[in-house]
Chain A
Amino acid sequence: MADLGAISLWIALALAAYAAIGSVVGKTRDSAVLVDSSRNAVYLLVLVLLVATLSLIVSFINHDFEVAYVAAHSELAMPDRFTWVAYYAGNEGSLLFISFSLAVMSALALWLAPVKVRDTLPYTAAVLMVVMTFFLAVTSIMANPFDKLPFTPLDGDGINPLLTHFGMFVHPPMLMAGLIATSIPFAFAMGSLIGGKTGDEWVDTGRVWGIISWAMLAIGLLLGSWWAYTILGWGGFWFWDPVENAAFMPWLGLTAFVHSIMVQKRRGMFRMWNIVLINVSFGLALYGMFMNRGGSVPSVHSFGSSSLGWVFLLFLCIGILVPFIIFFWRYPLLKSAQNLDSMLSREAAFLVNNLLLLAIAGVTMWGTVYPLISKLFTGVELTVARPFYDQVNGPLMLGLIFLMGVGPLLPWRRATPASARRALMPPGIAAAATVLVLLALGVRQEYALIAFGLAAAVTAGIFVEWYRGTRSRQRSSGEIYPLAFLRLIAANRPRYGGYIVHLSIVMVALGVVGTTFFSTQKDVVLAPGDTVVVDDYEIRYIGTTEIPRSNRTDFISSVEVYRDGNLLEIIKPNRSFYPSFNMASTRAAIRSTPVEDLFIVPSENLDNGSVGFRILINPLIWWMWVAGPVLVLGTVVALWPQRVRQTATAKAPGRVSAGPRASTA
């Protein structure tokens, strides 16, 4: 099967190169046949890369250790269910996965492209296929997952123990697909620019694919945080590691883009700004992929042995320079159709939101590359850690949450001071009431008070919007409240889907604030029968069972959790030692409630039966994990297609005219 995979890769490379060249030549020479042929090549890439992917998966299932990649990332003892994880566990497989994801998304993007972008679609296809050609060329020539060893080992090296976690089934593919998905809105923007369509033709498609890419990155980041929380054993979820930052920065860029593109869609404004934003997001996504593969900043996440860094660096430079050259070429045509009517408007709120998001991305970038810069200028590699990010990004993020509460309550174009005051009154009252209650409960941390107040304001603003909309609909149509609410959302999906996503961001903020300001940690060594008290929990260590497995030894500890003298639960933190990797992997035992998590992880098993435990109480972190499904729900609502609007029928030129239907006004 490996040979078939290798052949498929080369066919895919030929198809991608053909599609890139054929699309441009076909368009410039006005050859519809060549354009169609090139588009067929794009569709074929899905089939061919599916064959390559299946070949690799079958090689894993058949334990074909003659294939170097299979031997390096699996072993006979590896359960079949981890084959999917092993597929992208290494550099070569992950590049194949990225290529396959891009092929699927490119085919869908071209197939579903609306009529108004059809004229520039060949350029869009060409941009996508240039990116595809790069990835396939690197995969085929420099990091081929089907390369064979000169001999066939009896067993493989095995999969990295840290990857044997449920989160790994979704987190890496989501991040990789999310990063490469930025190519789609980027390609539509570039295609329009190259084709001379400098209006708003690409906006709808760019928005949809921008949101898809944004959501994939968001889910990937959340699942990565969950994975780190449950398996890495330090009790946190975000380390500001360079590779984490590399996925976070394009997400920030896309967050700015999906807001800003709404302004162009609604008002025909921010045309230049949106091109800049999508270029920046694409550049940051390329930077993320570069960091993973030989980037010069060390990270626990990167493919350590990769030597592809310089290739990705070169592509990164081209990927940043060329789009901005195209942008400046078309700059004189990119004039907005409207001007900002007022600073007290939703457009203005989106603009400030964009600036804050880019400021956070800039700070994160600075922190990420600071070790390099310090080494370059002082000869000493200085790294910045969490306090730097907390101090600089913390206030900026609070500003973002504030805007998340205010922005949606302002109307488009212009609000009067009176209407703005009326709209902001309920969230303001909710924020003040929350702060007062928390002060009464003894909370004194200023940042936490501000954050909880803002979270309350955002939540109140959203619920008041829902209530007012539902009530208005109920009064005008006579529908019962639940039906009126559902129909209100169905009739304004982008708006209300966005509100649901905002709720999920508030949930994430609750988790971050809860764990940052109110977490309790205790490191203890307990002998069997020992008890330790952490806050109002009493924790009693019973003992550890040692279970030898074919590739590891599991040490499963039993711990009783009491509160007020009542046994709440017996939980079992787990630590496994993998001799072949000389590595231990931990699984925290977590008693999770919406109020707080009790987190217990064994850090060391001593010879006398004692165990070193790290015990944490993490308030409100439960909300962070619940935010994931809510975010998905909001994204689906926002993206769900609306019924196609009837276009007014023309009567006669210069004699009978048609315009917007009265019913819409």
Chain B
Amino acid sequence: MTLVIGAALALFCLAIVTYPFLKSRFASAASPRTISTSVAAPELGPVYDAITTLHLEYQLGKVPQNLYKEQLASYRLQAASVLRQRFQERAGEPEWMLEQEVLVTRAALRGTEGGPRACPNCRSLVAPELLGCPECGASMESRV
């Protein structure tokens, strides 16, 4: 009985280990292709965390105002350069370019209020919820 259970266990393991090979053999070649249009940048996580921590330390009185502003600006610039790099990496992908065109058209159809604004420094269009230009780091706060 023990040997039978042992053999069954071994066969089960063999089946699970070989399953990916069988699956790839019989999988349909016409499986739909997915297009990723996200600009998810996991490198931004630490920058967001750093900004949150900086804000907390400012509130706790550990960081004086001048240091707070200086460090906040550097984090924004860091985030901007990450995003810019991401844009440059994906700029050649037609599906992604198309998606961006759609997004811009939608934004235009929604009207100018709440839409993108031009950076006073480099003239790049900046998303409305941002306080700084991700392209050059210039402040957009006066427009909020």
Which residues of chain A have C-beta atoms less than 8 A from B13's C-beta? Answer: 11, 15, 41, 44, 48
- A655-B125 in contact (CB<8A): yes
**Chain A interface SS verdict (over half):** helix
| Given A415-B62, A657-B124, CB of A665 within 8 Å of CB of B17 | no
Which residues of chain B have C-beta atoms less than 8 A from A3's C-beta? Answer: 2-3, 6
From B17, B49, B63, residue with most partner A Cβ within 10 Å: B17
**Chain B interface SS verdict (over half):** helix
- B67-A116 in contact (CB<8A): no
| Given A465-B60, A658-B39, CB of A4 within 8 Å of CB of B5 | yes
In the complex, A11→B83 CA distance in Å?
A: 48
Which residues of chain B have C-beta atoms less than 8 A from A414's C-beta? Answer: 67
| Given A265-B46, A412-B57, CB of A33 within 8 Å of CB of B67 | no
Q: Indicate which residue in B20, B56, B80 contacts A657 across the interface (CB closer than 8 Å).
A: B80
- B130-A416 in contact (CB<8A): no
- A268-B17 in contact (CB<8A): no
In the complex, A512→B129 CA distance in Å?
A: 54
Which residues of chain A have C-beta atoms less than 8 A from B64's C-beta? Answer: 416, 418-419
- B127-A657 in contact (CB<8A): yes
- B116-A651 in contact (CB<8A): yes
- B127-A648 in contact (CB<8A): yes
Within 8 A of B (CB), among A419-437: 419, 422-423
- A660-B125 in contact (CB<8A): no
| Given A416-B64, A418-B64, CB of A660 within 8 Å of CB of B46 | no
Tell me the count of chain B residues lying within 8 A, CB to CB, of chain A. Answer: 73
Within 8 A of A (CB), among B34-80: 38-42, 44-57, 59-64, 67, 71-72, 75-76, 79-80
Which residues of chain A have C-beta atoms less than 8 A from B95's C-beta? Answer: none
Which residues of chain A have C-beta atoms less than 8 A from B5's C-beta? Answer: 4
In the complex, A8→B21 CA distance in Å?
A: 24
From B47, B126, B130, residue with most partner A Cβ within 10 Å: B130
In the complex, A8→B131 CA distance in Å?
A: 61
Which residues of chain A have C-beta atoms less than 8 A from B40's C-beta? Answer: 647
In the complex, A132→B101 CA distance in Å?
A: 51
Q: How far is the CB of B24 from chain A (nearest CB, A)?
A: 5
User: Which residues of chain A have a CB within 8 Å of any CB of chain B?
Assistant: 1, 3-4, 7-8, 11, 15, 18, 33-34, 36-37, 40-41, 43-44, 48, 51, 114-116, 200, 204, 265-268, 409-416, 418-419, 422-423, 465, 468-469, 472, 476, 492, 495, 645, 647-665
With A655-B116, A662-B129 already in contact, 5 other A-B pairs whose C-beta atoms are closer than 8 Å: A4-B5, A411-B67, A648-B83, A657-B133, A660-B44
What are 19 A-B residue pairs whose CB atoms fall within 8 Å in the complex?
Answer: A11-B6, A15-B17, A33-B20, A37-B18, A200-B46, A265-B46, A265-B49, A411-B54, A415-B63, A418-B64, A468-B60, A647-B40, A648-B44, A655-B100, A656-B103, A656-B107, A657-B127, A660-B132, A662-B144
